[in-house]
Structure 1
């Protein structure tokens, strides 16, 4: 049996970031073969990831990245906010967003299977990070916005690094106008989206089920009124609803005296060409995640201690 030295363990730990005892076990199991030990740890990493998969991951980071006419947003979750401040985790999320700009789509499973810069796939990188850092992590979602000619506006709220934060927004502006002016306008609109969280671009982009639910609420609130009066109340209520939830109809946060649509029209003078807002994506960290009772991982650890 090969003798496992401290230097061999140190080399493997520096190469993989895995704990000393795991490194020693891996080298023992592979008769001191460094590369075989790396593979052994990767397999063990996948096992660790599976064991931690039932833990709720609602912290982490949102990342945005722009390449040419493609902008992407991704959300990678962890169990605690401590991990979001980990440099290795931030690098992982940044790299995943960069990979997503080449994939150029919203298919999370395809993104997980895409090649990762350091080798293997994106999912391999996530699994390895789980094994190294010791928390459940998941690539939860991805979205993209594209323009043929124009600019991708971008904004990150509560930023902890370049393109990394708690809320990330990308917005597409199609135009042949001045690129620098378009980019500045895009950032302003992205900030607006971060603040107002619109449900869609315009009336047509709102889920019909959401509209029907709003109609039902308005009708029930005004039950007992004559049918013709009720119809007018519901119609009026829907107009107000659309002004609140559709991006183009919302009051522009940088100038409440105009809508976003009006602000775009006025901006065409500075840009020097017509502007079409083609789409947007807004990711807020952890939104929609059922955190249940096991969310406070730090408190769970403290109670165990």
Structure 2
């Protein structure tokens, strides 16, 4: 039977699929628009399975704060071009909608269903990689930040007061996390195995340096301890020099803001997300 160009156009507008795919689906469905849409969806879902192993290292991080809840979602794809696609961005916003509406706390079928039409239309491996939900306690200040490329985001919640000065500090901490992406928050968070591993690396470097190897053991041990201390300061958030004042650490800045706010402040949440990691 003859397939009208107007029907092909209408099916394309409805499904977002290519013109040739729409024409073939209409032909296979004998011109039945609903059946053709079903055929396109089934073939698209089948193609999704084949694409599921392809790397999806591009994408965006979406964030939203509603009431006392913050939601951050990683939506990945294969190319930066798709990450900038308005349909991709719209789906990211819908993922936030359903997370709030259904009080979801992790990736669920509700999220996966929302990306199916996009998968069929765009034909890239698109994944709802992570969903993060943070509750803001009463009397706490919260802030979020998403970098301009939408691939790095941070959330900080500071307990103790919710004044403007504390909110600004929380936001500045978000900037710090996004800029330096520390592996750990405090020294207590660093696994002992990691510290021991770094100690062995530093020790081997010293042993391979003739001038260093000739030093007395007590001197070498002091140098080794100093290297470990410096390493911990570099990889732990609270021990890093604050992004807005490189003369004080984050911990020292927290103490300073506590005095200014007239309250004992502490970090309730410090989260940095780098897309795909």
- TM-score range (shorter-chain normalised) is 0.7 to 0.9
Conserved 8 A contact 2:17-2:120: yes
- Other structure's SS at 1:199 match: coil
Mapped pair 1:245 → 2:235: yes
1:117-175 per-position Cα deviation (integer Å, ceiling 9, x unaligned): xxxxx22333322221122222233434333222331111125xxxxx12111122223
- Distance in 2 (CA, whole Å) between partners of 1:274 and 1:44 is 59
1:258 maps to: 248
1:233 maps to: 223
Q: Higher mean Cα deviation, 150-159 or 32-41?
A: 32-41
1:259-293 per-position Cα deviation (integer Å, ceiling 9, x unaligned): 11121222234544332212222222345xxxxxx
Conserved 8 A contact 2:3-2:27: yes
- Distance in 1 (CA, whole Å) between partners of 2:98 and 2:274 is 20
Conserved 8 A contact 1:48-1:130: no
Mapped pair 1:196 → 2:172: no
- Other structure's SS at 1:89 match: helix
- Of the two, which has the highest radius of gyration? 2
1:9 maps to: 8
If the length of structure 2 is used for normalisation, what is the TM-score? 0.84
If the length of structure 1 is used for normalisation, what is the TM-score? 0.77
- Distance in 2 (CA, whole Å) between partners of 1:269 and 1:171 is 19
Q: 2:206 aligns with which of 208, 222, 225?
A: 222
Q: 1:104 to 1:42 in 2, by over 3 A?
A: same
Q: Higher mean Cα deviation, 48-57 or 30-39?
A: 30-39
Residue 27 of structure 1: CA displacement?
Answer: 3.3
Mapped pair 1:129 → 2:125: no
Conserved 8 A contact 2:141-2:161: no
Residue 32 of structure 1: CA displacement?
Answer: 4.1
- Distance in 2 (CA, whole Å) between partners of 1:252 and 1:217 is 28
CA RMSD of aligned residues (A): 2.6
- Other structure's SS at 1:218 match: helix
- Any residues of structure 2 matched to 1:134-153 within 5 Å, and which? 134-149=123-138, 150-153=140-143
- Distance in 2 (CA, whole Å) between partners of 1:92 and 1:278 is 30
Residue 76 of structure 1: CA displacement?
Answer: 2.0
Structure 2 residues not aligned, in runs of 5+ = 208-212
Q: 1:92 to 1:144 in 2, by over 3 A?
A: same
- Distance in 2 (CA, whole Å) between partners of 1:12 and 1:141 is 33
1:174 maps to: 159
Residue 29 of structure 1: CA displacement?
Answer: 3.6
2:210 maps to: none
2:37 maps to: 38
1:281 maps to: 271
Q: 1:127 to 1:6 in 2, by over 3 A?
A: same
Conserved 8 A contact 1:177-1:271: no
Conserved 8 A contact 1:194-1:282: yes
Residue 100 of structure 1: CA displacement?
Answer: 4.1
Q: Higher mean Cα deviation, 142-151 or 194-203?
A: 142-151
Conserved 8 A contact 2:68-2:136: yes
